[in-house]
Amino acid sequence: MGLLDGKTALITGVANRWSIATGIARAFHAHGARVAYIYQGERVRDEVEKLAAELGGGKAYPCDVSSDKALAELAKNIKNDYESLDVLVHSIAFVKKEDLGGKVFATSRDGFALALDISAYSLIGLTNALVNVLNDGASIMALTYLGATAIVPNYNVAGISKAALEAIVRYLAFDLGERGIRVNAISAGPISTASSRQVAGFKGMLDKVGASAPLHRNVTPEDVGNTAVYLASDLSSAVTADVHFVDAGYHAMGMFTEMPKA
């Protein structure tokens, strides 16, 4: 018996087999969930469909989350193919490369608007489109990062977008609580993905976090997937409106000094 037997999940943000969303998809499949996917652009279509076939043969839908028309079409397709959803995973973010790094006050107006639209508002757009497809007692979760609440050099408007995303999580949790729908965020530690490697100095960040975290290691997509299974399952039935850190404890560090050798 799996923790997610009988549940249907929609996962966004699967781009390749190394992405955090893929780690979540693998964990959901291992625990018995039916998993569907959305992707944007033909560039990743083959990879997403291949992963979907490996993980139970779930549907993969094209969807531009910046388009209300596309979101409405997604909801229609989910209703036709699956009837309803028990889990929604938001793992979508986009920032223009020129707005990562440099000075945050140099962020372009259109770059700021685009980052907030894709990285934060898309959770509102998806929820609004799928609210009548989600079952009572469903679980919604979004992927965030420490840069939402602390300064991470070169993360810039991506961190501002994550701060907005975390606020959206709390307000959605309040609005959907009357239906027993839980809304949470997972704040994953740095993981080497195609997206994270766009942040200048990422390799050094990965090394520092692994050395400084209480567990003395970095985390993996599988670690994040395990927490996502908990949040998707009935084990978290009274857990909502919170940010759950999966970063080997790094977020709790106020200062790191080299420990004396024994």
Positions marked catalytic: 145, 155
- Contact predicate 218/193, CB 8 Å: no
β-pairing, 182-188 vs 8-12, is unpaired
Helix ranges, the chain (H): 20-30, 42-54, 68-82, 109-116, 122-130, 157-176, 202-212, 221-232
Dump the DSSP string for 131-165.
TTTEEEEEEEEEEE-GGGTS--TTTTHHHHHHHHH
- Greatest alpha-carbon span in the chain: 63
- No. of H helices and E strands in the chain? 8, 7
By the 8 A CB rule, do 118 and 93 touch? yes
**What does the block give as tokens for 188?**
């994953």
Cβ neighbours of residue 187 closer than 8 Å, sequence gap 6 or more: 144, 145, 146, 148, 243, 244, 245, 246, 247, 251
Q: How many CB atoms lie within 10 A of CB 252?
A: 10
